[in-house]
Amino acid sequence: MSLVLEELSRRHNRRGFCCGVESLDYFIGKIAMQHAAKGISRTFVLVSKENKTVILGYYTLTPCQVHVDELDEKDAKDKPKTHPIPAGKLARLAVASDYQNQGLGTKLLVHAMEHFLQAQCAIGMCALFVDAIDENAARYYERFGFIRCSDNPLQLYLPTETIRKAYR
Protein backbone atom coordinates (compact mmCIF):
# COMPACT_ATOMS: atom_id res chain seq x y z
CA MET A 1 0.00 0.00 0.00
CA SER A 2 1.44 3.32 -1.11
CA LEU A 3 0.55 6.18 1.22
CA VAL A 4 0.05 9.88 0.52
CA LEU A 5 -0.49 12.80 2.86
CA GLU A 6 -3.02 15.40 1.71
CA GLU A 7 -4.71 18.44 3.14
CA LEU A 8 -8.26 17.55 4.18
CA SER A 9 -10.83 18.36 1.48
CA ARG A 10 -14.44 17.59 0.59
CA ARG A 11 -13.26 14.63 -1.50
CA HIS A 12 -12.35 12.72 1.66
CA ASN A 13 -14.93 10.52 3.37
CA ARG A 14 -14.87 12.35 6.69
CA ARG A 15 -17.98 10.77 8.23
CA GLY A 16 -16.68 7.27 7.53
CA PHE A 17 -13.62 7.69 9.74
CA CYS A 18 -13.57 5.53 12.88
CA CYS A 19 -10.62 5.29 15.26
CA GLY A 20 -12.33 4.13 18.45
CA VAL A 21 -12.25 7.54 20.16
CA GLU A 22 -15.56 9.34 19.76
CA SER A 23 -14.21 12.89 20.06
CA LEU A 24 -11.59 12.27 17.34
CA ASP A 25 -14.19 10.72 14.99
CA TYR A 26 -16.56 13.62 15.64
CA PHE A 27 -13.87 16.20 14.94
CA ILE A 28 -12.88 14.82 11.54
CA GLY A 29 -16.51 14.04 10.66
CA LYS A 30 -18.05 17.39 11.43
CA ILE A 31 -15.61 20.04 12.59
CA ALA A 32 -12.29 19.79 10.74
CA MET A 33 -13.50 21.23 7.40
CA GLN A 34 -15.14 24.21 9.13
CA HIS A 35 -12.00 24.89 11.13
CA ALA A 36 -9.90 24.76 7.97
CA ALA A 37 -12.25 27.21 6.23
CA LYS A 38 -12.07 29.62 9.16
CA GLY A 39 -8.31 29.25 9.55
CA ILE A 40 -8.61 27.96 13.12
CA SER A 41 -6.62 24.80 12.47
CA ARG A 42 -5.46 22.73 9.52
CA THR A 43 -5.95 19.02 9.16
CA PHE A 44 -3.89 16.65 7.04
CA VAL A 45 -5.02 13.15 6.18
CA LEU A 46 -3.19 9.99 5.23
CA VAL A 47 -4.74 8.11 2.29
CA SER A 48 -3.62 5.33 -0.02
CA LYS A 49 -2.78 6.11 -3.65
CA GLU A 50 -5.27 3.44 -4.72
CA ASN A 51 -8.22 4.94 -2.86
CA LYS A 52 -7.83 8.56 -1.97
CA THR A 53 -11.29 9.00 -0.44
CA VAL A 54 -10.77 6.72 2.58
CA ILE A 55 -9.03 8.45 5.48
CA LEU A 56 -6.52 6.12 7.15
CA GLY A 57 -5.38 8.67 9.71
CA TYR A 58 -5.16 12.40 10.34
CA TYR A 59 -3.56 15.11 12.40
CA THR A 60 -4.36 18.70 13.26
CA LEU A 61 -1.77 21.37 13.98
CA THR A 62 -2.64 24.67 15.62
CA PRO A 63 -0.64 27.61 16.88
CA CYS A 64 -0.89 28.08 20.63
CA GLN A 65 0.45 30.14 23.49
CA VAL A 66 2.43 28.78 26.40
CA HIS A 67 1.52 30.15 29.82
CA VAL A 68 4.17 29.46 32.41
CA ASP A 69 2.82 29.45 35.97
CA GLU A 70 4.85 31.52 38.40
CA LEU A 71 6.35 29.64 41.34
CA ASP A 72 4.92 31.93 44.02
CA GLU A 73 4.34 35.63 44.61
CA LYS A 74 7.71 36.23 46.29
CA ASP A 75 9.68 34.52 43.53
CA ALA A 76 7.68 36.17 40.82
CA LYS A 77 8.61 39.64 42.04
CA ASP A 78 12.32 39.12 41.38
CA LYS A 79 11.81 37.66 37.94
CA PRO A 80 10.47 39.47 34.93
CA LYS A 81 6.89 38.44 34.33
CA THR A 82 6.85 35.94 31.50
CA HIS A 83 4.56 36.72 28.63
CA PRO A 84 2.82 33.93 26.77
CA ILE A 85 5.32 32.26 24.43
CA PRO A 86 4.28 31.18 20.91
CA ALA A 87 4.40 27.46 20.24
CA GLY A 88 2.80 24.85 18.01
CA LYS A 89 0.37 22.21 19.14
CA LEU A 90 -0.40 18.81 17.72
CA ALA A 91 -3.98 19.02 18.91
CA ARG A 92 -5.09 15.69 17.43
CA LEU A 93 -3.60 12.61 15.83
CA ALA A 94 -5.67 9.55 14.99
CA VAL A 95 -5.37 6.33 13.00
CA ALA A 96 -8.41 4.41 11.71
CA SER A 97 -9.22 1.28 13.75
CA ASP A 98 -8.43 -1.13 10.89
CA TYR A 99 -4.97 0.36 10.38
CA GLN A 100 -3.66 0.74 13.93
CA ASN A 101 -0.32 -0.76 15.07
CA GLN A 102 1.21 -0.58 11.59
CA GLY A 103 3.35 2.50 12.05
CA LEU A 104 0.85 4.93 10.52
CA GLY A 105 0.73 7.03 13.68
CA THR A 106 4.50 7.46 13.56
CA LYS A 107 4.29 8.42 9.89
CA LEU A 108 1.69 11.07 10.77
CA LEU A 109 3.83 12.34 13.66
CA VAL A 110 6.89 12.69 11.39
CA HIS A 111 4.86 14.63 8.81
CA ALA A 112 3.35 16.82 11.53
CA MET A 113 6.83 17.68 12.83
CA GLU A 114 7.97 18.55 9.29
CA HIS A 115 5.01 20.89 8.88
CA PHE A 116 5.70 22.36 12.29
CA LEU A 117 9.33 23.11 11.31
CA GLN A 118 8.20 24.82 8.10
CA ALA A 119 5.78 27.03 10.03
CA GLN A 120 8.37 27.65 12.71
CA CYS A 121 10.86 28.97 10.13
CA ALA A 122 8.41 31.71 9.21
CA ILE A 123 6.97 32.80 12.53
CA GLY A 124 9.08 31.36 15.37
CA MET A 125 7.74 28.87 17.89
CA CYS A 126 9.61 27.57 20.91
CA ALA A 127 8.32 24.00 21.01
CA LEU A 128 5.79 21.53 19.70
CA PHE A 129 3.21 20.56 22.30
CA VAL A 130 0.89 17.57 22.12
CA ASP A 131 -2.41 16.79 23.81
CA ALA A 132 -2.23 13.03 24.28
CA ILE A 133 -5.65 11.36 24.26
CA ASP A 134 -4.77 8.96 27.12
CA GLU A 135 -1.86 7.62 29.18
CA ASN A 136 -0.91 5.10 26.48
CA ALA A 137 -0.65 7.89 23.93
CA ALA A 138 1.39 9.99 26.36
CA ARG A 139 3.88 7.12 26.76
CA TYR A 140 4.02 6.80 22.98
CA TYR A 141 5.11 10.43 22.67
CA GLU A 142 7.60 9.99 25.52
CA ARG A 143 9.35 7.29 23.50
CA PHE A 144 10.27 9.99 20.97
CA GLY A 145 11.59 12.30 23.67
CA PHE A 146 8.48 14.38 24.40
CA ILE A 147 8.60 15.79 27.94
CA ARG A 148 5.79 16.21 30.48
CA CYS A 149 5.49 19.70 31.83
CA SER A 150 2.16 20.16 33.49
CA ASP A 151 -0.21 19.03 36.22
CA ASN A 152 -2.09 17.70 33.21
CA PRO A 153 -0.10 14.47 32.59
CA LEU A 154 -1.45 14.26 29.03
CA GLN A 155 0.31 17.41 27.88
CA LEU A 156 3.86 17.04 26.59
CA TYR A 157 6.32 19.05 24.50
CA LEU A 158 9.49 18.76 22.47
CA PRO A 159 11.71 21.84 21.99
CA THR A 160 11.87 23.14 18.42
CA GLU A 161 15.67 22.81 18.34
CA THR A 162 15.47 19.13 19.27
CA ILE A 163 13.13 18.51 16.35
CA ARG A 164 15.29 20.55 13.99
CA LYS A 165 18.39 18.57 14.94
CA ALA A 166 16.54 15.31 14.40
CA TYR A 167 15.86 16.29 10.77
CA ARG A 168 19.47 17.18 10.05
163 contributes a contact to another protein by CB under 8 A: yes
Q: Pick the closer one to another protein by CB: 96 or 128.
A: 128
Q: Which stretch binds another protein (CB under 8 A): 13-21, 47-55, 94-102, 103-111?
A: 103-111
Residues 6+ apart with CB under 8 A from 147: 156, 157, 158
CA distance linking residue 136 with residue 139, whole number of Å: 5
The site string for another protein over 29-48 (x = CB under 8 A, - otherwise) reads -----------xx-------
Residues in 134-153 that interact with another protein by CB under 8 A: 143-145, 147-152
Amino acid at 2: S
CA distance linking residue 157 with residue 141, whole number of Å: 9
Specify the DSSP class assigned to residue 80. Answer: P
Task: Compute CA distances 164 → 20, 21, 111, 113, 114, whole Å.
Answer: 32, 31, 13, 9, 9
166 contributes a contact to another protein by CB under 8 A: yes
Q: Which residues bind another protein (CB under 8 A)?
A: 5, 40-41, 62-72, 84, 87, 89, 91, 103, 106-107, 109-111, 113-114, 126-127, 129, 143-145, 147-152, 155, 157, 159-163, 165-167
